[in-house]
Structure 1
Amino acid sequence: MLTIWGRISSINVQKVVWAAGEVGQSFERIDCGGAFGGLREPVFLAKNPNAQIPVLEDGEVCIWESNSIVRYLAARYGAGWIWEEDPARRADADRWMDWMQSALQPALMPLLWGLVRKVPEHADPAKIEASVAKAEQLMEILDQHLSNRGFLAGERFGMADIAVGCGAHRWLNMPVERVARPHVERWYEAIFARPAAQPALVLPVT
């Protein structure tokens, strides 16, 4: 059985929980990080010296960095399903996973800290407005991409849908006014309905 270290309110932990469910692997999840603490404990630092979540343990294998964990689970347990053997199709999925980590996730962070978690030093209206504007730009890119395909890397659900789906879940459930994105919304409804998504995509967003 897998062990996943990290609190479920973390978007990066959500990716891993969802991926584990999609490939049919049972797991124990151990709360740590945020209000749970524990990241500076020697037992955790031995697993990830960066003191960050998530961490995955699979027997003797110990991995940190959420996208790397999702790729590992997909390759080991989801070959031919959420893992693409063809290098071109896999690169298509990889680029969207990287886009999530380098573009969408950072764009959403000021909203999370300012509007959802209400941390005073992040409550600057100008920064929140800029965050919404950047997220809208990225959602337009995503909407256009999904206008002629069912999922991010084609017509089959895959690992990129997990990573970006967690970001879309956060955006679509934040207390902001949003531009309607019909293709994003259609895709999100389809992936949110997946049984493996339910334990990961918790509501409300916190």
Structure 2
Amino acid sequence: MLRILGRASSINVRKVLWACAEFDIPFEREDWGAGFTATDTPEFLALNPNAMIPVIQDGDFTLWESNSIIRYLATRYGHASVYPTEAKARAGIDQWIDWQASDLNRSWSYTFMSLVRHSPAHQDPQALAAGRAEWSRYMQILDRQLAATGAYVAGDMFTLADIPIGLSVNRWFETPFEHPHLPAVRAYYERLSKRRAFCLHGRNGTP
């Protein structure tokens, strides 16, 4: 059985949990990370030298980095419609997974730390306004993409890209500030909410 190390409230752990629910993968999860077992112990560092969650163990195979994990799970346990083997189709999905990690993920950092985590180091009004504007800019990119596809991030069918993007959209709506009107993003959020796996691990009120 798959072993998942990481607290369920982590957005990156929730990617893995959502993938397991989509692909009907049985797993056991252990609480590691903030508020639980420390990740800077020799035991954990032997699994991930970065001391970060999630980590999975699939038999004698250990893997860290959430997007690498969901790609592995989709390849081993998933279906070709979600993560196809054909190079161009897979690349179109991978670009949005990587965009979430490299661009969208960075854009929300200051706003999230300020408004959700209430970090004293992230309370500068000008920096917060700039952070909100930057996050909104990337969400407008997503809105245009979703308007073009009319359904999901990479096309008219649900794919692996919708897991990290869907969790990012959940974070967007759950962070308390006045959001610009993005009708395609809102429709996408409601569309994802019809999926049992997203309701279990995505739209659960935890940004």
The TM-score bracket by the shorter chain reads over 0.9
Note the alpha carbon deviations across 1:83-115, whole angstroms, 9 max, x for none: 112211111110100110011111112122111
Corresponding residue SS for 2:4: strand
Give the residue type in structure 2 aligned to 1:191.
Answer: L
Moved more, 26-35 or 59-68: 26-35
The aligned residue for residue 189 of structure 1 is 190
The aligned residue for residue 49 of structure 1 is 49
8 Å contact kept, 1:143–1:182? yes
Q: Distance in 2 between matches of 1:30 and 1:23?
A: 20
8 Å contact kept, 1:3–1:29? yes
Moved more, 68-77 or 182-191: 182-191
Provide the identity percentage: 42
RMSD: 1.3
Note the alpha carbon deviations across 1:115-144, whole angstroms, 9 max, x for none: 111111112222221111011111111111
Give the residue type in structure 1 aligned to 2:98.
Answer: D
Task: Confirm or deny that 1:82 pairs with 2:92.
Answer: no
Task: Confirm or deny that 1:178 pairs with 2:179.
Answer: yes
In structure 2, stretches of 5+ residues that fail to align are none
Corresponding residue SS for 1:34: coil
Moved more, 3-12 or 194-203: 194-203
Q: How does 1:147-162 map to 2 (within 5 A)?
A: 147-149=147-149, 150-162=151-163
Give the residue type in structure 1 aligned to 2:19.
Answer: A
Q: Distance in 1 between matches of 2:194 and 2:125?
A: 34
8 Å contact kept, 2:193–2:203? no
Q: Distance in 1 between matches of 2:169 and 2:148?
A: 18
8 Å contact kept, 2:192–2:198? yes
Task: Confirm or deny that 1:95 pairs with 2:95.
Answer: yes
The aligned residue for residue 68 of structure 2 is 68
Q: Distance in 1 between matches of 2:120 and 2:57?
A: 36
The aligned residue for residue 14 of structure 1 is 14
Greater than 6 Å deviation, 4+ residue runs: none
Corresponding residue SS for 2:52: coil
**TM-score normalised by the chain length of structure 1:** 0.95
- Residues 172 and 36 of structure 1: CA distance in aligned 2, closer, same or farther (over 3 Å): same
Moved more, 82-91 or 29-38: 29-38
The aligned residue for residue 110 of structure 2 is 110
8 Å contact kept, 1:174–1:205? no
Q: Distance in 1 between matches of 2:40 and 2:68?
A: 22
Give the residue type in structure 2 aligned to 1:171.
Answer: W
Give the residue type in structure 1 aligned to 2:162.
Answer: D
